[in-house]
Amino acid sequence: MPTIHYHISDLRVALQPYRTAQRIALVPTMGNLHDGHLELVKIAKQHADIVVVSIFVNPTQFGVGEDFDSYPRTLDEDVAKLATVGADYVFAPTIDEMYPVLPPPTTILAGTITEQLCGKTRPNHFDGVGIVVSKLFNIVQPNIAVFGQKDYQQLAIIKQLVRDLSYSIDIIGAPIIRATDGLALSSRNQYLSESERQTAPILQQELQYLAKQISDNKQPLEVFLTAAHERITSAGFMIDYLEVKTTELTAVDDESINNHQVLVILVAAWLGRARLLDNRLVTINKV
């Protein structure tokens, strides 16, 4: 079983003997772990000698009216799952341990990349992500950190944060893990009713179809996006955003589309109480 530490000082003491000769990996999570999280740990094990998994439901990245209070907290079950994939340490701090002052007076901004997509409808969300990830990096001092590509914008922001703050950490983006019907795994999938769970895979199916249309590049981009938006809405989703970007999350249009080999489609949509995120890379067939 992995060793659990609740205090920053205890974790630092435990990790100190490994710092000179062994590589340390960090897998940050909010707990309520599923197979996608466990895959992150498996990837971390391939690149490091010691794997630390943080479990912390971070209040600073939740907005007013969001699900901070109801977000499932399942520490005992999470630790048991982590034992099956060889995690070495679990860091499960309290809010007081992580934030002596709340809200914290220090913010860590990631520039205009935070103001689009999820940042439009979740103001200050990425400020919360930035400070908690920076704190975890400073506490654990890992050589590598593993994040899932399902949260594509978050991964891009963290890569920028590491670059701009000169962290000596390799960031690994792990592929999206899906259920057999294509739905991207997420802790919030449990908010779906039985009928909504049957509908949810349509989101990924629409991304696949949209990717093929964009790849073939036979009509203006807006035509494809408008039609996809209508189909997804008709299926019962309430779309937060559906956009096509460069892989660095800059804007793309019909004039510039052929300047890129690969683009990314990003979607966030509500289905009942669940806000579902997904994305898909698109290889452009040059005309």
Q: Is the dihedral of CA 51, 11, 153, 69 positive or negative?
A: positive
Which positions are annotated as active-site residues? 37
What's the gap between Cα 235 and its chain centre?
25
Query: Is-contact 168 141, C-beta < 8 A?
Result: no
Beta-strand relationship, 3-5 and 274-283:
unpaired
